[in-house]
Copies of this chain bind each other. A is one copy, B any other.
Amino acid sequence: MKDRMNHLLILSEEAPAYLDLLQAAKLTNLRITALSDTRLARTKGAECNMVLGEPGLVHGLLPYMTNLEWVQSTWAGVEPCIQKNSHRDYQLTNVKGIFGAQMSEYVFCYILMHEKLARVHHKLQQQKRWEQHFPGQLRGKTIGIMGVGSIGSHLAQTARYFQMQTKGYTFSSTNCEFIERYYHGEELVEFVSDLDYLVNTLPDTPQTTHLINDAVLRAMPPGAILINIGRGNVIEESALIDALNQQTIAGAVLDVFAEEPLPEDHRLWQTPNMTITAHISVISYPEDVVPVFIDNYHRFSNGQDLKYSVDFERGY
């Protein structure tokens, strides 16, 4: 494919930033069209053989992109592009390895707020009450991380920085130096049984649906906090609502949900000890994504395997 002209469609709300960064990179044999929405994308898209874009925008264009060879997603989650009836006659790659730091900041924000009793102190301040409720500390607490890829590894590293104990639950991998003990398969109940914090980073696949169910929640200690930054399907939400109402666990922090946006009448909004954020735990910064694209562009041009290739069947 060397020396052949390529035509890239950038399809992202941040198209101008992506265009600036890619033009500065002066990639050879590359023509670029940059669009912030799908209005002109059907006609322009037909000319392009590669896309750098948001899966939710790219998905609707797939039927019209007759010359498509490669889609580089700007996000980690590519669910819109891997639905059963979607076109699959192209290579799909996502971004990995760039979200660990941001996810760590989100997760440790809420872990620290819980340890430091931030909401207790906020209420006392509103009542102008000077009361010394002393905080807990992370040192010696135990975190369990479901899914130890680049995000889970970064969480484990941050946990070790704060002198926490770390446990990992994976399909089979055991290669993260920051995880002190690994669990797999049927060991999920044992894995959660002594945790202070359980963090899910697993993606949405048929194998992950409702992994965190009633039995797992009941196996967690009553003081434990559940945090989900992976995908909403992993938690059986009705079981979590019951667990929080019955104080089976102490709290939950969810950034992802089975249905997004979370419907206004969903019971989760007002479940006690529930913290909800609107799928904002990480942003794809163009300056982080572009190096992934450039590396893959060189691989594509040289006929090499692309990095972070998504298996349509497996779903990640």
Residues of A within 8 A of B (CB): 101-102, 105-106, 108-110, 112-113, 115-116, 118, 121-122, 124-125, 128-135, 137-139, 158, 161-163, 260-262, 264, 269-270, 275-281, 283
Report the Cα distance A162→B161, complex, angstroms. Answer: 11
Report the Cα distance A112→B109, complex, angstroms. Answer: 5
Report the Cα distance A133→B276, complex, angstroms. Answer: 13
Report the Cα distance A129→B277, complex, angstroms. Answer: 10
- CB pair A277–B121 under 8 Å, yes or no, is yes
Chain B residues in 8 Å Cβ range of A162: 101, 105
Report the Cα distance A261→B281, complex, angstroms. Answer: 37
- CB pair B269–A137 under 8 Å, yes or no, is no
- CB pair B113–A113 under 8 Å, yes or no, is yes
Shortest distance between the CB of A8 and any CB in chain B (Å) = 25
Report the Cα distance A262→B124, complex, angstroms. Answer: 12
- CB pair A278–B109 under 8 Å, yes or no, is no
Shortest distance between the CB of A212 and any CB in chain B (Å) = 21
- CB pair A278–B137 under 8 Å, yes or no, is no
A110, A133, A135, most chain B CB atoms within 10 A = A135
Report the Cα distance A106→B135, complex, angstroms. Answer: 9
Shortest distance between the CB of A89 and any CB in chain B (Å) = 32
Chain B residues in 8 Å Cβ range of A275: 121-122, 125
Shortest distance between the CB of A304 and any CB in chain B (Å) = 30
Chain B residues in 8 Å Cβ range of A118: 109-110, 113, 118
Report the Cα distance A166→B283, complex, angstroms. Answer: 24
Chain B residues in 8 Å Cβ range of A262: 130
Report the Cα distance A9→B109, complex, angstroms. Answer: 41
- CB pair A132–B101 under 8 Å, yes or no, is no
- CB pair A132–B278 under 8 Å, yes or no, is yes
Report the Cα distance A128→B261, complex, angstroms. Answer: 11
Report the Cα distance A108→B275, complex, angstroms. Answer: 19
Shortest distance between the CB of A107 and any CB in chain B (Å) = 10
A134, A163, A275, A278, most chain B CB atoms within 10 A = A278
- CB pair B283–A134 under 8 Å, yes or no, is yes
Chain B residues in 8 Å Cβ range of A116: 105-106, 109
- CB pair A112–B108 under 8 Å, yes or no, is yes
Given A101-B137, A113-B113, A262-B130, are A278 and B124 also a contact pair (CB < 8 Å)?
A: yes
Question: Looking across the interface, which residue of chain B has its beta carbon closest to that of A124?
Answer: B278
- CB pair B102–A137 under 8 Å, yes or no, is yes
- CB pair B101–A163 under 8 Å, yes or no, is yes
